[in-house]
Chain A
């Protein structure tokens, strides 16, 4: 896999693919409500702490050979957050991608959390972290669009770094 693909090559290739149906499903808030949420609370929730702001300088981890999604939390373990079951299921399907991504919320600075995949295992800290969730959703989407790990890393850095 070519991990040195240019940003241009990736992101000029990302096309707007949301259909009206997708829009109807995905877009459920108005601009005003959205912006209100941004200015009031969402932004604060996304800020993990002052020491976790400079992760763009930290390289992405290399995916472990043979990594599987067997440790990703299951629906039985997500009883309190059923809305996240589809996301965890999607993550379980592409462990080789998620294991190659640094989490920009700062959690992977801890030795026990080596990659974004780790956030969906064990205690499942992604259940409470919007950054982890957003990064994984973006990774899942781009993977479905056929993007490489290098492409996905570049996109995540652009949006979350």
Chain B
């Protein structure tokens, strides 16, 4: 009877979402990373006084369990990604976990996305199966998916319930190449006189120098005197001779690309770089550089 009621209740979800108190309320976690959208949709079971869930009748050991409730939790990615290094093609999957008392669990992504939680899929070659480490964490009342860590090229996708936490490293396909071959980078290298107008005086009150170097495969710029915000910045090619500024964090990782905010448009004369105009999102030239050497 309980199972039947639960099944009927779950089937009624679409029409009752706006006014129904549910034991496992619907939740969504969605994150955009460099144009890749990652979405987890799930129902969120609560512990409700149960101090132990894994290894009990709630979730048996060795069970293929959906980390959610009602209809299986789904993962939807609009572009190809990697989870813990395993390729996951763009699409929508139902998410399952083989829970074990000892050792790693296995995350199973099944291409059939609409499956009720009581009908876990059999193992098949179309599934993506990902071994995951389980760490012990403080008690979590409500099953929670999250992306607590975001980087330029990925992040961490985590599930946490009771005292278990499973985290997967997500890698997205980068929209821009941060590096440039030496042969492509060489024409830009050198020092440039940097001129910009001061809004108050309308004069060339800020004149400095920017040096462009090629380090660890990346074109980098540095102002003299040093600019407190940019310090050393990356120049990332968005089109031939158009390079956008990449801003580094304290660890030396690029965390933002200023496109369309700050794009260097380099100019050539007889194939040789002579200078650049820096244009903002409104296509205004707000600074320009002239090659010194």
Chain B residue nearest to A46 in the complex (CB): B281
Q: In the assembled complex, which residues on chain B have CB atoms less than 8 Å from the CB atom of A11?
A: 239-242
B276 near A158: Cβ-Cβ < 8 Å: no
Chain A interface, DSSP helix/strand/loop, else mixed: helix
Give the size range of B's interface with the partner.
35 or more
Looking at A29-37, A70-78, A93-101, A111-119, the stretch in contact with chain B turns out to be: A29-37
A16 near B276: Cβ-Cβ < 8 Å: yes
Q: In the assembled complex, which residues on chain B have CB atoms less than 8 Å from the CB atom of A30?
A: 196-199, 205-206
B281 near A50: Cβ-Cβ < 8 Å: no
Q: Does B157 contact A (CB under 8 A)?
A: no
Total residue contacts A-B, CB cutoff 8 A: 128
Q: In the assembled complex, which residues on chain B have CB atoms less than 8 Å from the CB atom of A60?
A: none
User: In whole angstroms, how far apart are the Cα atoms of A38 and B229 in the complex?
Assistant: 11
B261 near A154: Cβ-Cβ < 8 Å: no
User: In whole angstroms, how far apart are the Cα atoms of A155 and B259 in the complex?
Assistant: 12
A31 near B281: Cβ-Cβ < 8 Å: no
Q: Does B78 contact A (CB under 8 A)?
A: yes
* Interface residues in A, total, Cβ within 8 A: 45
Q: Does A141 contact B (CB under 8 A)?
A: yes
Q: Does A15 contact B (CB under 8 A)?
A: yes
Chain B residue nearest to A137 in the complex (CB): B283
Give B249-293 interface residues, CB cut-off 8 Å to A: 256, 258-263, 265-268, 274-277, 280-288
Known: A16-B288, A24-B202, A29-B199. A134 touches B265 (CB 8 A): no
Q: In the assembled complex, which residues on chain B have CB atoms less than 8 Å from the CB atom of A38?
A: 258, 261-262
Q: Does B230 contact A (CB under 8 A)?
A: yes
Q: Does B23 contact A (CB under 8 A)?
A: no
Q: Which residues of A contact B (CB under 8 A)?
A: 7-8, 10-12, 14-18, 22-24, 26-36, 38-39, 42-43, 46, 50, 53-54, 56, 130-131, 133-134, 137-138, 141, 154-155, 158-160
Q: A12-B268, A158-B238 provided; 15 other pairs, C-beta below 8 A?
A: A14-B241, A16-B265, A17-B267, A23-B195, A28-B197, A31-B196, A32-B229, A38-B258, A38-B262, A42-B261, A54-B37, A130-B282, A134-B280, A134-B282, A158-B242
